[in-house]
Structure 1
Amino acid sequence: MELVTALYLFPFAYIVYLVCKRAVRKRDECCYMLHYECFKPPEDRKLSTERCASIVFRNKRLRLEEFRYLLKTIVSSGIGESTYSPKNVVEGREASPTLKDALEEMDEIIFATLDKLFEKSGMSPSEIDILVVNVSLLSTVPSLTARVVNRYKMRADIKTYNVVGMGCSASLIAIDIVQQMFKVYKNMNAIIVSTESMGTNWYMGRDRSFMLSNCLFRTGGCSMLFSNNKKLKHRAIIKLNYILRTHLGSDDQAYKCCYQKEDDEGYPGFCLTRHLPKAAAQAFTQNLKVLVPNILPLRELFRYLLVSTTWTPSDLEKVGKGLNFKSGIQHFCIHPGGRAVIDGTGKGLQLTDYDLEPARMALHRWGNTSAAGFWYVLGYMEAKKRLKKGDKILMISFGAGFKCNNCLWEVMRDLKDTNVWEDCIHNYPIKTLVNPFMERYNWINDDTLSFVRLN
């Protein structure tokens, strides 16, 4: 009888424990985002279908079968004709990039977003206590953080962190770094800069597992301003409620599913293997087992206790079975890494087209901008005036390693500021997300491919 009573009481005791844990976390932690600025490249960098074709044709190594693979991939990628390419690729120098190209690319994105961030927030560079810059594919000496400190003549006691190799999840890793610092130091202001070095990492070979990155990744970046000073709470746009990081690096298959290396012919690139969906499912499942009881309301926690034992790493769809994630979350900010990532996450969490719209439209308009992608999705929500005071936003990301990093935000006031979506938001949502590449270039055969290259 005592055992039966204990079994019945256990779920209630567990719920009480979680409620107390949340209360302590809310009291002790404070991380406000005051402002963010996404990068909008110059219009002459825009990748129309014709410009994409000219870049593809420049790779003399591609045979007809690889060309048709690229054709099919671009068409089904969910990316439109308004994304942007690095300057050296537009100018036809992707085969021989230089360090100068990489630094100029970073300077343009980082300084443009930071200039606007300081201007619009009213915060001076001398008021920044913590600086985190994340660029996965570029490590320089001095570091990129040092480059920022030098440009804005920041204080000598500023705490800087240069994050590399973390992939599309780097933004949330940087936020975690800032949050941990906020636990130690009071009344601090922090800046995070998230972007990626695309121009000097363009793949020039013909291995299909490497070619996918050229189809998905595009130019973009974002700078964000955070503070744990409660006196600035009235200026905050969102507040961090919870963040969770899951890492499957100990699993060899997951570790190697997204990998920077050289192909069999010696061409460097970023390899995306067929094991990626499985790794994502495993990481997402393990992540949600911890995340769910920390973010959903009490009525859903009881249901969580009943269904979580049925979740399996090999079946992502079971993650959302029996749970209503929208009972405590109004908005889902999924990293726009690709159509398969967005659709798979949406299916696993039983989300609607309305929930997935911001990620799908951000992918169509901007492409996969790596760690900066979240903020283009958030910008879409803001431009559509979806974000109201008290709303909860769940950010979901995947990254090389293999990682799944998620966090929950709370909207501090109705958001309706202008951003990079201002000039095009009236065109969205777009119902048909098929790129016209196939329609315009499906006629290519061996003879015409040779002819086009010669001309």
Structure 2
Amino acid sequence: MSIFSMSFFFLAQFKYFFLSINRAFLNIQIFFSPLQWCLLIASIATFYLKKCSKKIYLVDFVCYKPSSKTMCSKDLFIEKSKCGGHFKDESIDFQKKIMDRSGFGDKTYVPESLIVIPPRICTMEAMKETESVIFGAIDELLLKTKMKVKDIDILITNCCIFNPSPSLSAMVVNHYKFKDRILCYNLSGMGCSAGLVAIDLAKQLLQVHHNSYALVVSTENINSGWYLGNNRSMLVSNCLFRVGGAAILLSSISSDSHRSKYHLKHTVYTHIGSQDSCYNSIFQREDETNKITGISLSKDLMSSAGFALKENITTLGKYVLPLLEQLKFATTFVVKKYFNKNMKIYTPDFKLCFEHFCIHTGGKAVQDEMQKVLGLSDWQIEPSRMTLYRYGNTSSSSVWYVLAYCEAKGRIRKGDRIWQIAFGSGFKCNTAVWYALRNVDPIKEINPWSDEVHEFPVDVSI
């Protein structure tokens, strides 16, 4: 029996029940008017359809591990910056200070085009970088999941800076020869949170297109975002962003629950771009020379991230927090607003809701603030810190490297709840909540951490 036929069956039963009630109370004239009947039926239908909404499963995911020949230590990064001839001595000193405080190790990756002297900044090199990341991740995911290209119904790619024409999604379709009817989307300019924006979009599409598979590919292009000027606010992005990417396979097929790793419980999308300071906190523009384009990071960035996080967790809390935590928050909020403006609003304890926290590796300062605000232990923030140390800021794919670390460490057990948090230009804060459907065996799991996870954690204190 289809969902629609079942819906009509139940509605008919409800109507029969309420007609019986009406007849039983004829003497006191309790009747439903036609309008009331319409509202009742609409409410029942909405409730029933919500109950019948499709579950979204994460079958598996892959994080791309670049070639060792593109590995770049902090000293090599500064050396290449000096030899390039584009930066003044004070700009070199500034970048060295940023690198020293970055939380980076000496094994992050940059494109080959930026290691050579002089660096090759061009569309062809940017395309080579992106193809190696995207195709490498998808190839491994197809092998890992034993998926056939013809079975994928939805494709979503995201990359903030590099947006060629045809799009990156079209590039993937052409390379893998996807079917003509595939639903294809390419997200751009959405920053580091775009990976979770893509997950939210895939969720909505899969709930409409039942019994389908969605492939989400998240990456960033370092070549296109490289800045060759001397504006300090733009030099920071050179220091923080590194090569990386992830491919994720989602399903709305019920039978996939037995082979999938996670069930997607919630996604929350918070956009505070209506405020000018937040909108301008991360901005691509030309520098004061009006010749060189770069990504400018403003002094309002941290405050924007804090405000966006507050708005996001306020919404998320309604779905995941225990009732007592919600009451504590609501009580202090009301007291502060109406009675005592000096009252500090209670910060809910999200450690009661989640076993694992996959926080975007935006930088050490971001991690420190997140640990403080959420009251996380060193163990809980460790996956994010180690990802920043080993892979740097891989933008929209970073939360997947963090989750891969948790898997490689053998931390994911059946029933665990995972919270992914990412920030991005605009300004946005996006979160996804996953429920582990099975234990993830690190011995059987192959991911970019597998051959070296025994070396972590390391001391990253400065």
Q: TM-score, normalised by structure 1?
A: 0.86
Find the partner of 1:359 among 362, 381, 384: 384
Find the partner of 1:291 among 316, 322, 342: 316
Structure 2 residue 142 is matched with structure 1 residue 118: yes
CA positional deviation for 1:323? 2.2
Q: Which moved more, 1:84-93 or 1:354-363?
A: 84-93
Q: Distance in 1 between matches of 2:94 and 2:227?
A: 15
Q: Which has the higher contact order (CA 8 A, sep 6+)?
A: 1
Greater Cα offset, 46-55 or 131-140: 46-55
Take 1:307 and 1:23, find their aligned partners in 2: how far apart are those partners? 36
Cα deviation, residue 433, structure 1 = 4.6
Once the two structures are superposed, the pairs formed by residues 144-155 of structure 1 within 5 Å of their partners are 144-155=168-179
1:347 aligns with 2:379: no
Deviation at 1:103, TM superposition (A): 1.1
Q: 1:356 to 1:24 in 2, by over 3 A?
A: farther
- For 1:90, which of 104, 115, 124 is the aligned residue? 115
Percent of aligned positions with the same letter in both sequences? 37
Q: What is the distance in 1 between the residues matched to 2:257 and 2:184?
A: 24
Map of 1:421 onto structure 2: 449
Q: Which residue in 2 is equivalent to 1:129?
A: 153
* Distance change (3 Å), C-alpha of 1:200 and 1:211: same
Distance 1:49 1:246 in 2: 34
Residue identity in the other structure for 2:237 = S
Q: 1:321 aligns with which of 333, 338, 346?
A: 346
Letter aligned with residue 149 of structure 1: V
Question: Which one of the candidate residues 281, 285, 294 is aligned to 1:261?
Answer: 285
Contact 2:332/2:345 (CA < 8 Å) preserved in 1? no
Q: Which residue pairs with 1:242 in the alignment?
A: 266
| Matched residue, 2:12 | none
**What RMSD, in angstroms, separates the aligned Cα atoms of the two structures?**
2.0
Secondary structure of 1:28's match?
coil
Change (3 A) 1:124 1:310: farther
Q: Deviations over 1:255-287 (max 9, x none)?
A: 010001111022111110101011111111111
1:306 paired to 2:331: yes
Shift of 1:91: 2.0
Q: Are residue 216 (structure 1) and residue 244 (structure 2) matched?
A: no
User: Which residue identity is paired with 2:326?
Assistant: L
Q: 1:385, 1:257 → 2: CA distance?
A: 38
Task: After TM superposition, give the deviation of residue 23 of structure 1 in Å.
Answer: 11
Contact 1:125/1:154, CA 8 A, preserved across alignment: yes
| Structure of greater Rg | 2
**Distance in 2 of aligned mates of 1:399 and 1:272:** 12
- Match of 2:39? none
Q: Deviations over 1:276-313 (max 9, x none)?
A: 0111111111111111111113332322322344789x
Query: Which secondary structure does the structure 2 equivalent of 1:240 belong to?
Result: strand
1:332 and 1:395 in contact (8 A); partners too: yes
Distance in 2 between the 1:102 and 1:182 partners?
A: 31
1:367, distance to aligned residue in structure 2 (A): 0.2
SS at match of 2:451: coil
Cα deviations across residues 362-403 of structure 1 (Å, max 9, x unaligned)?
A: 000000000010110001000111111111111111100000
Aligned length: 408
State yes or no: 1:406 paired with 2:431. yes
The aligned amino acid for 1:34 is: V
Q: Which of 327, 333, 337 is 2:362 aligned to? A: 337
Displacement after TM superposition at 1:93 (Å): 4.3
Please list the CA deviations of residues 115-154 of structure 1 after superposition, one character each: whole Å capped at 9, or x if unmatched: 1111110110100000000011111121111111111111
The equivalent residue for 1:143 is 167
Query: Residue 36 of structure 2 aligns with which residue?
Result: none
Per mean C-alpha deviation after superposition, the further-off stretch among 418-427 and 76-85 is: 418-427
Q: Counterpart of 1:177 in structure 2: which amino acid?
A: L
Alpha-carbon distance change, 320 to 92 in structure 1, aligned in 2, over 3 angstroms: farther
Contact 2:237 2:295 in 1 (8 A): yes
Once the two structures are overlaid, the 10-residue window that deviates more, 347-356 or 46-55, is 46-55
Report the more deviating stretch, 333-342 or 319-328: 319-328
Deviations 1:396-452 (A, max 9, x none): 111000001112111111112121001211110001355xxxxxxxxxxxxxxxxxx
Segments of 5+ residues of structure 2 without an aligned counterpart are 1-45, 338-342
- State the AA in 1 paired with 2:348: L
Gaps of 5+ in 1: 1-20, 313-317, 435-455
1:245 match: secondary structure: strand
Cα deviations across residues 321-379 of structure 1 (Å, max 9, x unaligned)?
35221111111110011011111111111111111100000000000000010110001
Q: Who is 1:230 aligned against?
A: 254
